[in-house]
């Protein structure tokens, strides 16, 4: 068993599941979207991004691209959440919540593409 592949797969899957956990729920209800879960999704996606830098294959480049997209969208969502919560006088309204959850949904899609790539890479691996 290759420990590097286990760690890589772990962080790719954890990034997707944390993102899914934050995304799930009514888009207009801020109580259903925990800011700590968003923070954890950002951190784990950043770790997954760093792990993807070493791969020099074509599929590795696509892995890296999906990770960059996910991180950008999650960081954008976290910045919007922070602005709405700590700067805006309106607070976390339905509109702000919908925007934050929408950005996390885009990141979730990028994470799902990364998981599919990981599965394809695993299934097509030949020992030789």
pLDDT in tens, 63-102: 999 999 999 999 999 999 999 999 999 999 999 999 999 9
Mean pLDDT, the chain, as a whole number?
93
Q: What is the pTM of this model?
A: 0.92
* Domains: count for the chain: 1
| Predicted local confidence at residue 128, as pLDDT | 55
Burial class (CB in 10 A: 0-12, 13-18, 19+), 20: middle
Tell me, what DSSP letter sits at residue 111?
H
Q: What percent of the chain has pLDDT over 70?
A: 98
pLDDT greater than 80 at residue 112: yes
Q: Confidence class of residue 56 from pLDDT cuts 50, 70 and 90?
A: confident
110-to-59, 66, 118 alpha-carbon distances in Å: 14, 5, 12
State mean pLDDT over 94-112: 97
State mean pLDDT over 22-35: 94
pLDDT greater than 70 at residue 38: yes
Domain range for 67: 3-125
């Amino acid at each position: 068993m290759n420990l590097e592949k286990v760690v890589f797969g772990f962080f790719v899957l954890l990034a997707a599941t944390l993102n899914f956990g934050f995304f799930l729920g009514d888009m207009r209800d801020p109580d259903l979207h925990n800011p700590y879960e968003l923070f954890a999704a950002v951190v784990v996606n950043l770790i997954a991004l760093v792990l993807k830098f070493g791969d020099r294959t074509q599929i590795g480049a696509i892995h890296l691209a999906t990770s960059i997209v996910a991180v950008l969208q999650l960081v954008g969502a976290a910045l919007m959440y922070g602005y709405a919560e700590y700067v805006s006088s309106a607070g976390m309204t339905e509109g702000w919540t919908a925007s934050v959850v929408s950005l996390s949904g885009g990141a979730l899609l990028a994470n799902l593409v990364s998981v599919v790539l990981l599965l394809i890479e695993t299934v097509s691996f030949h020992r030789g």
